[in-house]
Amino acid sequence: MNYEIRELGPDDLDLMGLLLDCFADAFDEWETYTGNRPDPGYLASLLRSDMFIALVARVNGSVVGGLTAYELKKYEQSRSEIYIYDLAVAKDARRRGIATALIEALGHIAAERGAWVMFVQADYIDEPAISLYSGLGVREDVLHFDIPPKVKGHART
């Protein structure tokens, strides 16, 4: 399968929409990715920013996978880290090296930006993701906590 990897820019709103559809299908989360889609101005601004990265994999012009990531500028040293937020490949295009190619393309972008490391989270039950990431990097077992923006009983100072 021949595929191309492309980084999206602010003029690629159609491809960004197709990437959101790809994520919705791959994760079976249609409401999350299509239910309240941002307006074109918001997406263009995001794609224009230096903190957000979106890559798509295409076969014959069709989006079959993609990756989104955020560059996190560090404060303790002059460096950044790249956080892979979402990565998916369409069911009929899996096991063909597309996910690895997306991560490798992100690696080139990260190196150009002088990033120190790239990192990603995986659910314990997602064995294919764990296998992919284990072949590319070092595993760290950490705990993840979702904290609501407004914590009761604590005032902002």
Is residue 85 in a domain?
Answer: yes
Answer yes or no: are the C-beta atoms of 7 and 55 closer than 8 Å: yes
Residues 100 and 56 sit within 8 Å (Cβ to Cβ) = no
Residue 141 maps to a domain: no
Within a domain: residue 129? yes
Cα 104 vs. chain centroid, distance in angstroms?
A: 13
The predicted pLDDT at position 140 comes to 73
d(CA 109, CA 64): 21
**What is the pTM assigned to this prediction?**
0.83
Question: pLDDT at position 137, please?
Answer: 74
In the chain, how many domains are there? 1
Residue 119 falls inside a structural domain: yes
Per-residue pLDDT of the chain (157 residues; tens, 9 = 90+): 699 999 999 999 999 999 999 999 999 999 999 999 999 999 999 999 999 999 999 999 999 999 999 999 999 988 899 999 999 999 999 989 999 999 999 999 999 999 999 988 776 666 776 776 767 777 777 767 666 677 566 655 5
Distance separating alpha carbons of residues 157 and 154, to the nearest angstrom:
9
- Domain with residue 45: its CATH number is 3.40.630.30
pLDDT at position 120: 82
Structural domain of residue 83, as residue ranges? 4-134
